[in-house]
Amino acid sequence: MPAVQPDSGDNLPITTLRELALAAAASAGLRAVVRVGVADALGDAPVPVAELAKTLDVDAAILARVLRNLRCYDLFDQTDEGIVHTPASRLLREDHPQRLKNWVLWATEPWVWQLWPDLEQALRTGRGHFDERFGDNFFAHLHKEWPESTETFNRSQIELSRLTSAAIADTLNLADAKTFADVGGGTGYTLAAILERHPHLHGTLVDLPAAIASPDPRLRPDGTLAARSQVVAGDCLHEIPVDADVYQFKSVLEWDDELTVTALRNATRAGHPGSRVLVITNLIDDSPEIRYATGVDLLLLLNTNGKRHTRAGVTALAERAGLRVVGVTPAGPLLHVVETVIP
């Protein structure tokens, strides 16, 4: 075999492997800078790294090293005057309308680092092993044992919903519906956006008690949507406690397939013939952000024994639950609405 020159184009596969094996360095650095608050401490003007470190009470030399690594991913930049923001690092600021700070924290939580090595076991056994490792199912364990992580999760879901709720509210045809239930709706950000866009609609937020402990301000008794909404604790794997014209499951049914069928069957029991059941999800075979979608898919495998669905996969599950599939429509660049009806 010919010798490979150190900096020749032939090196690309070697570089790819070296970088990929160390990709965790960037995830860890990203988490660390969010935790110490670098993005919020940096405004529009460049700040020398020593000054930034002093403000944040962190080690200047190590901050410089972490930022040097993150710069390789277009996250923060270095000028002669000091560190500056890039478009991506600005998304880590608390005041950014497209903030992803809590989502970054969620995706890099300490328990996530604990789970990644389990991928080998999942590969050998065909399933995730969260329940055996932690002694409970994912959401029960999250809510009981990791209250701070639950907070981070709820905030991260609001951040994701802020990116998508307008497109969902625009896409859904709700003219003929009077009642709408968002099942597993989290704190209710998306439900509130839908109710604001469709002023004739009454909405119910259904989620586990820990998720609705602090609902969206608009849905609270003194909120702007209080007269047209209710917040109800419920476990959709047990029973959905409301009859509605439309049920929405957004980014919820990404756990074990049997649980997905159970939740959808419970919607058919709660609703009436003609009620619509909408599964809103990031389809893995139609995703413009395939590295993100496939990464989340593997994390779901390890935490809920779940997955990102394919179009054929999710429609087959809906049919197994006794629903009639009407169609699949894009809602913004990332999500699809799988529309089904209770026969």
Residues contributing to the site for ligand SAM (CB under 6 A): 139, 157, 160-161, 184-186, 190, 207-208, 211, 235-237, 250-252
Contact 330, 324 (CB under 8 A): no
- Return the amino acid letter for 50: A
Instruction: Pick between residue 84 and residue 300 the one whose CB is nearest to ligand SAM.
Output: 300
Name beta bridge partners: 237: none
SS3 45: coil
User: Taking the complex as a whole, how short is the minimal distance between the CB of residue 178 and ligand SAM, in angstroms?
Assistant: 21
Instruction: Pick between residue 236 and residue 264 the one whose CB is nearest to ligand SAM.
Output: 236
Instruction: Pick between residue 160 and residue 181 the one whose CB is nearest to ligand SAM.
Output: 160
Cα–Cα distance for residue pair 38/109, rounded to 1 Å: 18
User: Taking the complex as a whole, how short is the minimal distance between the CB of residue 66 and ligand SAM, in angstroms?
Assistant: 29
Instruction: Pick between residue 67 and residue 158 the one whose CB is nearest to ligand SAM.
Output: 158
User: Taking the complex as a whole, how short is the minimal distance between the CB of residue 59 and ligand SAM, in angstroms?
Assistant: 36
- Give exposure, 259-289, as e/b (b: 16+ Cβ within 10 Å): bbbebbbbbbebbeeebbbbbbbbbbeebee
Helices 23-36 and 60-71, axial angle in degrees (round to 10): 130
- Region of 188 on the Ramachandran plot (φ > 0 left; ψ -120 to 50 alpha; else beta): left
Residue nearest to ligand SAM (CB): 184
User: Taking the complex as a whole, how short is the minimal distance between the CB of residue 286 and ligand SAM, in angstroms?
Assistant: 18
For residue 135 the two structure tokens come to 């002694």
User: Taking the complex as a whole, how short is the minimal distance between the CB of residue 280 and ligand SAM, in angstroms?
Assistant: 7
Instruction: Pick between residue 76 and residue 153 the one whose CB is nearest to ligand SAM.
Output: 153
